[in-house]
């Protein structure tokens, strides 16, 4: 109820009140009652929750961090906690460059950034359908090939080697690759290739991205963004003890054993 409505209502009330009681006090009382009533009706009770504290995040990343592939902003819900924490650090320390994110996280300490990562990681929210691919079958095939098998000639490891067979990542530090906007995947791989996006050293993804051509990046983003997310749509709970990573990665505490003879290619 707006103030104007209230005033009109009061005016109507006054019309049938005896003149003597047209006191300011009574008007004040009526106004106060009406205001109190409207507050109770309109605004839900304030609750001090982590979700309430993080409305600065969900304004762009969607309620509960559920951003869909229709926008540019990546989804946060259900991504591994360590990965999210590291990205917040990367924005704060200029390894990732996006002004709005940097200015938001700049005043926040490590403990809070870790808590923010854990909060979004804990959310279990259904994935929307994927984006329809717009590329040729040949491009999609190349994308799938890179995801499943990599490119031995260029020393490009398969995405699945680290990001898991289901491509949903491995807790706590390796992110999933599905459920993201195509433009976002494209831009991130491009930024890694050109050095605009970095991760903690050794920056394995920079090495991988530099081994890709721009066409490869296009193929990867087309294929990944068009894949439906199958249940249970969660990162693997832990890295399989019997496997090693093809490259050492900063911020990921898994032992790496580069495949003998494989050499990451030079920029293409």
Cβ neighbours around 227 below 10 Å, total: 18
The minimum distance between CB 106 and another protein, in angstroms, equals: 7
The minimum distance between CB 6 and another protein, in angstroms, equals: 11
Q: CB-wise, 102 or 262, nearer to another protein?
A: 102
The minimum distance between CB 105 and another protein, in angstroms, equals: 8
How far, in Å, are 39, 97, 190, 237, 238 from residue 118 at the CA level? 34, 22, 28, 14, 16
**Dist. CA 120–CA 50, nearest whole Å:** 10
**Dist. CA 222–CA 37, nearest whole Å:** 53
**Dist. CA 169–CA 244, nearest whole Å:** 15
Q: CB-wise, 93 or 238, nearer to another protein?
A: 93
Query: What residues make contact with another protein under the rule CB under 8 A?
Result: 2, 35, 38-39, 42-44, 46, 48, 50, 52-60, 92-95, 99-100, 102-109, 111-112, 115
The minimum distance between CB 229 and another protein, in angstroms, equals: 26
Long-range CB contact pairs, 174-178, < 8 A, 24+: 174/80, 174/83, 174/235, 174/239, 174/252, 175/79, 175/80, 175/83, 175/235, 176/78, 176/79, 176/80, 176/235, 177/147, 177/224, 178/127, 178/130, 178/224, 178/227, 178/228, 178/229
For tokens 């020393």, name the residue. 155
Q: CB-wise, 2 or 242, nearer to another protein?
A: 2
The minimum distance between CB 158 and another protein, in angstroms, equals: 31
The minimum distance between CB 16 and another protein, in angstroms, equals: 27
| Alpha-carbon torsion (217, 223, 224, 225), positive or negative | positive
Q: CB-wise, 146 or 205, nearer to another protein?
A: 205
Q: CB-wise, 203 or 218, nearer to another protein?
A: 203
The minimum distance between CB 169 and another protein, in angstroms, equals: 25
Written as six digits, the tokens of 245 are: 């990573």
Q: CB-wise, 1 or 152, nearer to another protein?
A: 1
Q: CB-wise, 55 or 70, nearer to another protein?
A: 55
Query: Angle at CA 83, nearest 5°, toward 79 and 87?
Result: 115
């Amino acid at each position: 109820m707006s103030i104007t409505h209230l005033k009109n209502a009061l005016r109507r009330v006054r019309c049938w009140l005896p003149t003597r009681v047209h006191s300011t006090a009574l008007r004040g009382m009526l106004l106060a009652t009406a205001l109190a009533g409207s507050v109770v009706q309109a605004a839900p009770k304030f609750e001090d929750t982590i979700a309430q504290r993080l409305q600065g995040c969900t304004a762009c990343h969607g309620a509960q961090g559920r951003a869909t592939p229709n926008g540019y902003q990546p989804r946060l819900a259900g991504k591994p906690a360590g990965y999210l924490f590291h990205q917040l650090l990367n924005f704060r320390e200029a390894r990732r460059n996006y002004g709005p994110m940097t200015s938001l996280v700049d005043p926040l300490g490590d403990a809070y950034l870790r808590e923010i990562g854990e909060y979004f990681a804990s959310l279990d929210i259904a994935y929307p359908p994927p984006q329809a691919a717009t590329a040729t079958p040949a491009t999609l095939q190349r994308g799938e090939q890179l995801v499943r098998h990599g490119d031995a000639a260029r020393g490009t490891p398969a995405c699945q080697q680290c990001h898991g067979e289901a491509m949903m990542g491995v807790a706590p530090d390796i992110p999933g690759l599905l459920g993201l906007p195509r433009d976002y995947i494209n831009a991130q791989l491009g930024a890694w290739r050109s050095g605009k996006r970095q991760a903690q050293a050794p920056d394995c993804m920079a090495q991988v991205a530099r081994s890709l051509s721009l066409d490869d990046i296009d193929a990867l983003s087309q294929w990944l963004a068009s894949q439906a997310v199958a249940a249970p749509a969660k990162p693997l709970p832990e890295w399989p003890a019997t496997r090693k990573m093809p490259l050492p990665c900063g911020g990921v505490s898994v032992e790496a054993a580069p495949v003998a003879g494989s050499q990451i290619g030079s920029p293409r």
